Structure 1
Amino acid sequence: MHGLLSAICILCLTTLGIMLLLKKLNQPYLIAYIIAGIILGPYVSGVFTKPDEIEIIGEIGILLLMFFLGMEINVPNNRSLLIKPVIAQSIKILLSIICALAIGYMTELSLNSMILIAVLFIFNSTAVVSEFLKKHNTLKTTFGIMILNMLIFQDLLLAPVLTILKVWDNKNFDFLQITLPILVCIAIFLLLRRVRNIQEIRLPGFFHTLESDHDLQVFSGLIICLGFGLFAETVGLSGALGSFIAGVVVGRVKSFNWLEHSLMPFKVFFTTLFFVSIGLRLDLSYLYFNIKTVLLGTFFVLASNSVMSAIIFRLLKYNWKDSWYGGALLSQTGEFGILALSVAYKTGIIEYSLYKTGLGITCLSLLFSTIWIAILKGIIEKRSLISQKN
């Protein structure tokens, strides 16, 4: 108990100090969590030595984060806001595959490695992007909903991607492993179509008694959020997607208005742990000896993702200002990329060196993307002001 309390106190103190510094620099707190993980990880101070265990606990934070996003977002009635994200993400998948094949051809990588690189390009960080959409007050705008729907579509793709990685060399392939998630995805789509036309869902009188009982509120909220996540994981989808759908439905229930206040502390704490676990995974000694490769790969991911996404948004008739802003938001490779890397390494699809390099690029892209977004947004706004004056 003494060691656990010491580690938690050091984590809180380190995170708080970095957050106060970032507050003065007007930077998001997600950076603080990752840096704290690097400092306290097994490769620096050694306060925490088992990043996998902390990541498992921290994944609850991602479920809560997606749950809150579902509560806040309005399912659009405009069909284009549902079709455009699918078109945009489909184009991005195609461009990501082309880009990965080009990289693999120039560096003489195996086909397995090329496919994994394409996966890293495809998935962005829902946590990072949603935080910036909130910070810039664009979450509920038409363009913000468009980007968020792209991220949701990515979450839908996670299940078949992970399933394919797990059975890559497995002769005992179960067709149900892919068909069941597809059927559930269709059910989710039909549910969203149904919910978007409902302004309020009424529940039996029992649920109204929760409004005056804080303890019942907390556990009712957790079972709704985590229960939907568990169901999604059981059928082969991501738990984050299940929690998001739960949030969409709960957001239509007025008798659950108390839920946000009851679960917010849990969301902050567990989300922090998840991003701390990302910092814990960063092997600084490996990074030091391969700094050129990792930094070049990180910059290439940020730049190429930004350009690809900006071009896609422009093709969908958005102006260049919004297109470059959307490109900046979708520049990083996300937390699901780390999951894909782990699965690919454990199943023997990729070798250890590529796993470590991919992990370093993913961690640094998450860390640097916050700065990258701030820089590109500043350039966009500056050019917009200049054009307005002219």
Structure 2
Amino acid sequence: MEEYRLIVDLVIALGAALLGGAVAQRFGQPVLIGYIIAGILIGPNTPGLVADIANVETLAGLGVAFLMFTIGVELSFSELRHVRRVAIMTGGIQIPLTIVAGWVAGLAIGWSWQAAAVLGGCFAISSTIVLLKLAASRGEANSPHARTALGIGIVQDLALVPIIAVLPVLTGDSDDILLSLAQSLGIAAIALILVIVVGTKLAPKVLYAVARFESRELFLVAIVFIALGTALLSELAGLSLALGAFLAGLVVSESEFDSHVLSEVIPLRDLFATLFFVSVGMLLEPWFVIDNIRMVLGLLATLVIGKLLITGGALLAAGANYRTSTSTAALLAQMGEFSFVLASLGLADGIIDREQYGLILAVASASILISPTLLGVSPALVSLSQRLPGVKWKEAAEVGGEPVDAGEANQVVLCGYGRVGAVLGDVLAGNEYPYTVIEINPVTTRELREVGVRAYYGDAGSDALLIRAGVREASVLVVTVSDLLASRAAVRRARALNPAITIITRAISRNDVQVLMDAGADEVIQPEFEAGLECVDHMLGTLGMSADQIAMIVAARRRSLYEDGDRPFSIP
């Protein structure tokens, strides 16, 4: 069985995650709590079925990389600029103050100043994957506090570079801290410039060349290659794997393929991100926590309260209001995935011992475990802050994004821009109706963008792509693609996303009409049948039949195909 060990571990981890997530959902809790508890149960520190943590952590690393990649794709450079000022200012205050708070806490429990410094570094780093999962589960992924928290999280990831550079100094292996820092920061700066400058030029060209093959498999391979390749180069350059994946996503976000990339990567992201939370649970030692419960709770309280106060205060200083400040601070009040990395490096360098390492892991895991609860009580914390003496409620502008102008919401979404779609587009443009196009041909989407049409490359059956195209705000969706499976998927997903939208679709054969009606289409048009009726109209008119008689015959023939109970049909 050894040759299948990776597969066995994957099956064990996913099975446990499925069970744990289902139980958590059943009791109204976020699924990530179920994943962590599942990890505890299959970890090496509890009896029963055990998975190899090294294999699970390797797969979990892919989850972190894909998550950060999709974040980059969703954000783009232009959107990131909205949170740049507040993220840098807040991170610049929060990181050093949190390091000091952790350092003081370490000294208070009798650790050496070097070990306490490692604890402070672990305290300073929050979990990007946790905050995004929490925000998404509450439907707040695009909220000001989620965007702001993400910006601060990125600043924290960047700060990890100098923090790691200082570790050799704490062991006495380096005599010149400034030289060590300068070397690490220099390498990081060069890597960032190369990724951004070279990537923005190269990645869109690679994706365009691959997209022209119109092969979904090749396109997916190209996406994974770009995401993991950039992440690996970032790791080799001294930056983190996650930061490299995020930069790769930012690069892709500037291309016309961003929405399709997102729809392809999301399933991979969700699968491997699940394993990250399972791996967190596997690291936790329940008996160690029980034996050191007072120490764990004391450090946990210091971490959470300290981060809430420091991050919230820094955000207020940066101009955010109390609601945004409190919610953002709650999202960032845990230790992150890179805290585990930092603790592991500290253990390997001999700065902390095994017991101190176990304590850091216990506090980090517990902080992640209570994160959903903490975010849930953040509205109560906002109300409490209003009642504090001397605190004036501040209605400053929200930080982290600009509201969408309702007037820009697209009234029509066209899925497919072949001959039929082009006619519809011309009519809409001629009558000044705004519209968006989803098209699988990269040449067509590029040409449309060049003339100012909002066009997205990809499969219209993807929720991510339909949302990006504005289906939730649109009043009409017209599906003109010739593939029945693609049409049915687009109709079903659009109906689920916007029950009020009017959906008009094209059927290739008569048998497809009922299938598309059942999928949720309001009106289905079968082109060949309509062409036949048009010929009937002209033919009977030439033979001398009156217009009223012709209209009755055509209407009867049309009902024979389209009529289905109370469903409406129309004459195009």
TM-score (norm 1): 0.87
Is the 8 Å Cα contact of residues 76 and 82 (structure 1) preserved in structure 2?
no
> Which deviations, in whole Å up to 9, do the C-alpha atoms of 1:19-78 show, x marking residues without a partner?
223224443222121111001111113423532332122111100000000001132478
Q: Which amino acid in structure 2 is aligned with residue 220 of structure 1?
A: A
> Which deviations, in whole Å up to 9, do the C-alpha atoms of 1:81-127 show, x marking residues without a partner?
32321121111123213323432443332111221121122100000
How far residue 173 of structure 1 moved from its aligned partner, in angstroms, is 7.9
Quote the Cα distance in structure 2 between the aligned partners of 1:339 and 1:232. Answer: 16
Equivalent residue for 2:186? 182
State the aligned residue count. Answer: 383
> Which deviations, in whole Å up to 9, do the C-alpha atoms of 1:147-201 show, x marking residues without a partner?
21111111112222223325643647895785254343366379769999x9x95
Quote the Cα distance in structure 2 between the aligned partners of 1:344 and 1:180. Answer: 18
Is the 8 Å Cα contact of residues 312 and 328 (structure 2) preserved in structure 1?
yes
Is the 8 Å Cα contact of residues 64 and 273 (structure 2) preserved in structure 1?
yes
Q: 307-316 or 142-151: which moved more?
A: 142-151
Is the 8 Å Cα contact of residues 125 and 339 (structure 2) preserved in structure 1?
yes
Equivalent residue for 1:60? 62
- Mind listing any 5+ residue stretches in structure 1 that lack a counterpart? none
Which among 182, 206, 211 is matched to residue 208 of structure 1? 211
Equivalent residue for 1:311? 313
Q: Which amino acid in structure 1 is aligned with residue 209 of structure 2?
A: F
Q: 247-256 or 233-242: which moved more?
A: 247-256
Equivalent residue for 1:266? 268
| Shift in alpha-carbon separation, 1:221–1:45, aligned structure 2, 3 A | farther
Q: Which amino acid in structure 2 is aligned with residue 208 of structure 1?
A: A
Q: 263-272 or 236-245: which moved more?
A: 263-272
Q: 1:258 aligns to what SS in structure 2?
A: helix
Equivalent residue for 2:359? 357
Q: Which amino acid in structure 2 is aligned with residue 188 of structure 1?
A: L
Equivalent residue for 2:252? 250
Quote the Cα distance in structure 2 between the aligned partners of 1:53 and 1:22. Answer: 25
How far residue 382 of structure 1 moved from its aligned partner, in angstroms, is 9.5
Is the 8 Å Cα contact of residues 22 and 31 (structure 2) preserved in structure 1?
no
Quote the Cα distance in structure 2 between the aligned partners of 1:382 and 1:189. Answer: 45
How far residue 335 of structure 1 moved from its aligned partner, in angstroms, is 0.9
Structure 2 residue 34 is the aligned partner of structure 1 residue 32: yes
Q: Which amino acid in structure 1 is aligned with residue 165 of structure 2?
A: T
Is the 8 Å Cα contact of residues 65 and 231 (structure 2) preserved in structure 1?
yes
Equivalent residue for 1:236? 238
Q: Please list, as runs of the form range in 1=range in 2, the aligned pairs for 1:1-390 lying within 5 A after superposition.
A: 1=1, 8-76=10-78, 81-166=83-168, 168-169=170-171, 171=173, 179=183, 181-185=185-189, 188=192, 206-210=209-213, 212-255=214-257, 257-377=259-379, 380=382
| Shift in alpha-carbon separation, 1:274–1:80, aligned structure 2, 3 A | closer
Is the 8 Å Cα contact of residues 343 and 357 (structure 2) preserved in structure 1?
yes
Which structure has more RCO (C-alpha within 8 Å, separation ≥ 6)?
Answer: 1
Is the 8 Å Cα contact of residues 229 and 243 (structure 1) preserved in structure 2?
yes
How far residue 319 of structure 1 moved from its aligned partner, in angstroms, is 1.6
How far residue 79 of structure 1 moved from its aligned partner, in angstroms, is 5.8
| Shift in alpha-carbon separation, 1:9–1:324, aligned structure 2, 3 A | same
Q: 2:55 aligns to what SS in structure 1?
A: helix
Is the 8 Å Cα contact of residues 16 and 35 (structure 2) preserved in structure 1?
no
Quote the Cα distance in structure 1 between the aligned partners of 2:374 and 2:159. Answer: 26
Pairwise CA RMSD? 3.2
Is the 8 Å Cα contact of residues 64 and 267 (structure 1) preserved in structure 2?
yes
Q: 1:133 aligns to what SS in structure 2?
A: helix
| Shift in alpha-carbon separation, 1:352–1:259, aligned structure 2, 3 A | same
Is the 8 Å Cα contact of residues 235 and 241 (structure 2) preserved in structure 1?
yes
Q: Which amino acid in structure 2 is aligned with residue 374 of structure 1?
A: G
How far residue 5 of structure 1 moved from its aligned partner, in angstroms, is 5.8
How far residue 232 of structure 1 moved from its aligned partner, in angstroms, is 0.2
Q: Which amino acid in structure 2 is aligned with residue 179 of structure 1?
A: Q
Q: Which structure's CA Rg is the greater one?
A: 2
| Shift in alpha-carbon separation, 1:34–1:116, aligned structure 2, 3 A | same
How far residue 358 of structure 1 moved from its aligned partner, in angstroms, is 0.8
- Mind listing any 5+ residue stretches in structure 2 that lack a counterpart? 387-392, 394-572
Quote the Cα distance in structure 2 between the aligned partners of 1:177 and 1:304. Answer: 27
Quote the Cα distance in structure 2 between the aligned partners of 1:8 and 1:192. Answer: 35
Higher strand share: 2
Higher helix share: 1
Q: 364-373 or 259-268: which moved more?
A: 259-268
> Which deviations, in whole Å up to 9, do the C-alpha atoms of 1:324-372 show, x marking residues without a partner?
1111111101111011111101110012211111111111111111222
Is the 8 Å Cα contact of residues 187 and 238 (structure 2) preserved in structure 1?
no
TM-score (norm 2): 0.61
How far residue 8 of structure 1 moved from its aligned partner, in angstroms, is 4.3
How far residue 322 of structure 1 moved from its aligned partner, in angstroms, is 1.5
Quote the Cα distance in structure 1 between the aligned partners of 2:384 and 2:173. Answer: 57
Q: Which amino acid in structure 2 is aligned with residue 360 of structure 1?
A: A
How much identity, in percent, do the aligned residues show? 25
